[in-house]
Chains A and B, each alone.
Chain A
Amino acid sequence: MDLLKASFSDIAEAVTSKAISAKEVSSFFLKRAQSLNPRINAITSFNDHALAEAEKIDEKIAKKESVGPLAGVPFGIKEMFCTKGLKTTAASKMLANFVPPYDATAVERLKNAGAIVLGKLNQDEFAMGSSNENSLHGVVRNPWDVTCVPGGSSGGSAAAQASRLMAGTLGTDTGGSIRQPAHFCGVVGVKPTYGRVSRFGIIAYASSLDQAGPIVSSVKDAALSLEVISGFDKNDGTTSQKAVPAWSKQLNENVKGLKVGLLKQCMSGALNADVQKAVDNSLDILKKSGAEIVEVSVPLIEYAVPVYYLIAASEASSNLARYDGVKYGYRAEFKNLSAIPLEDFYGETRGQGFGAEVKRRIMLGTYCLSSGYYDAYYTKAGQVRRLMVQQYQEAFKSCDVILSPVTTSTAFKIGERISDPLAMYLNDIFTTSTNLAGLPGMSVPFSLSAEGLPIGIQLTANHFDEQRMLNVGLALENASSVRGKNPNVF
């Protein structure tokens, strides 16, 4: 079996039928990851117990015990997820030595399904960034062109998946952090409906926007892994109690009669010519397959970036208040002092422990939540957010899924946008509104630019309607010109 092309179910079937052992699969990916990672810096640490855990799966199979649909499938986990006994840094000096005593629910569910956690993956510090240049562990490189960024904040996950250092990866998406790096690296990234996946054990950035999801090599793998991690969790009161459909079994590329919405707002901006061409071609393909293309409008998308950053920064400033240097995490050194003011204790610790982008967002969020500005910024953003959800609901009355670009361009050069945070923020124009409205969204690789960089197509569906989104994703994947092509690092 070619493990570089094998799907999750191929691996699980081979492992379960003893055609290959789980240990052999994990050894293969470990060796590959160890040899290729220095070129892209996607992996931050390896799980020393991975092979022993894989052996346990083999033992279970030998004893004819049930092992789950991801038996022996090696996974890489973004640093935002707590992993029991494995360092979880959120790519921050603040948590540089943090080893959680528990697994995030999503990770626990992967393990229960038989997956092996092979290592942890690089990201932007506390998931704040669109390029994976703000990390304690250094910049991640795009495997298609190592002078380019992989996107952020789940850049490590997307780069590791694109170069197949892992069979599958997990990412988190607060404003596009799964979809944008998936687009830049030519892999499939799915952000499910808000509430589908438990946030328990995921280091909190912006609680009303964060969702976890898979970054993987195919729509089929995305459907299966999403199925495994989704569902109600008593540890997260915002998870939905709705049943999780068997998305992977119901995948169907037939789009005949489906109405695909083209967002008017997404087509009026300045799109890179190759991205525009990819969007046009994807629409042609769906049309030829029997889908109806309808124009829809969500006018408030124009304001998605400011609303997103106001809400995300405000929630971040509140969530990150827990890093006080007392119970866990970084603490500044205080030597030879008889007593220090409490505010200095916190201030020094936080000032030294957080990186520049995190501090910038905490400052912005604290300002927006401060007395006199709260209503003008946070409340106002929440009101606009409600109106935006209503506009989306209206749009979904005339279409089944919405098609749009993921970002305006392909992966940009490392360092190109780092000095202008606002320009970087505006990069998120097509992804942030999905999180604000809590809708499921995905990026499917569709073509390559003239420079040979991947271009993804973004699909967005109504709340809890992942199936239709995945189906359209499958149709695009089957027609994709990037399918079967490998990045340069291979």
Chain B
Amino acid sequence: MIDKKTIENVAKLARLKISESEAQEFSQQLAKALEHFAKISQINTEGVEALVTPTEIEAYWREDVVEQNYSAEEMTANAPEKSGHLFKVPPVV
């Protein structure tokens, strides 16, 4: 069972503010999903290396050369708030 404290901790780790009703809803849904997911614990995986990428990746290295692909205007064009070419944020502590 996922209690309220666990949900609060996970939300904090995820940097996600959730409402009381969401906490309640997620707690039940997560518990149900994890209960279902727990059945993979029955599979014997001793000595098996976890797979990260499903197909073999051929190594590729590019030249270590600095490139400028975008202008400062382009890179800051989507900023919620900016000052010149700088990203502007509210004062934080």
On A, residues with C-beta under 8 Å from B are 97-99, 101-102, 193-195, 208, 232, 234, 237-238, 240-241, 300, 303, 305-307, 309-310, 317, 321, 324-331, 334, 337-348, 350-352, 354, 356, 359-360, 362-364, 366-367, 370, 376-387, 389, 421-422, 425, 435-439, 463-464
The majority secondary structure among interface residues of chain B is loop
CB distance from B32 to the nearest CB of A (A): 6
11 new A-B contacts at CB < 8 Å, known A305-B36, A343-B15, A383-B45: A237-B60, A340-B91, A341-B93, A345-B90, A363-B7, A376-B41, A380-B43, A382-B51, A382-B52, A383-B51, A384-B43
| Closest Cβ neighbor of A207 among chain B residues | B53
CB <8 Å contact, A194 and B48: no
CB <8 Å contact, B32 and A307: no
CB distance from A423 to the nearest CB of B (A): 10
How many residue pairs link A and B with beta carbons under 8 A? The number is 186
CB <8 Å contact, A306 and B51: no
CB <8 Å contact, B51 and A385: yes
A310 to B93 Cα, complex, angstroms: 34
Q: Taking A208-B54, A422-B32 as contacts, is the C-beta distance between A359 and B90 under 8 angstroms?
A: no
Q: Taking A101-B70, A329-B78, A359-B18 as contacts, is the C-beta distance between A422 and B36 under 8 angstroms?
A: yes
B24 within 8 A of A: no
CB <8 Å contact, A331 and B45: no
Q: Taking A327-B78, A350-B16, A366-B14 as contacts, is the C-beta distance between A360 and B29 under 8 angstroms?
A: yes
Residues of B near A363 (CB, < 8 A) are 7, 10-11, 14, 16, 18, 26, 30
CB <8 Å contact, B17 and A351: yes
A125 to B55 Cα, complex, angstroms: 27
| Closest Cβ neighbor of A380 among chain B residues | B40
CB distance from A334 to the nearest CB of B (A): 5
Q: Taking A306-B40, A354-B16, A360-B26 as contacts, is the C-beta distance between A337 and B55 under 8 angstroms?
A: no
CB <8 Å contact, B78 and A328: yes
B80 within 8 A of A: yes
4 closest Cβ contacts across the A-B interface?
Answer: A438-B54, A382-B50, A351-B17, A328-B78
B33 within 8 A of A: yes
CB <8 Å contact, A421 and B53: no
B5 within 8 A of A: no
Residues of A near B80 (CB, < 8 A) are 325-326, 328-331
CB distance from B65 to the nearest CB of A (A): 12
CB <8 Å contact, B54 and A339: no
Residues of A near B52 (CB, < 8 A) are 208, 382
CB <8 Å contact, A337 and B91: yes
CB <8 Å contact, A99 and B78: yes
Residues of B near A193 (CB, < 8 A) are 55
CB <8 Å contact, A347 and B15: yes
Q: Taking A306-B40, A341-B93, A380-B41 as contacts, is the C-beta distance between A240 and B55 under 8 angstroms?
A: yes
CB distance from A214 to the nearest CB of B (A): 20
Selected contact of B40 from candidates A208, A337, A384, CB within 8 Å:
A384
Residues of A near B69 (CB, < 8 A) are 102
A7 to B11 Cα, complex, angstroms: 49
CB <8 Å contact, B11 and A195: no
A470 to B38 Cα, complex, angstroms: 37
CB <8 Å contact, B79 and A421: no
Residue pairs across A and B with Cβ atoms less than 8 A apart, 15 shown, are A101-B74, A240-B58, A303-B43, A306-B37, A342-B92, A345-B92, A366-B14, A367-B10, A380-B50, A381-B50, A383-B45, A386-B50, A387-B43, A436-B54, A463-B55
B1 within 8 A of A: no
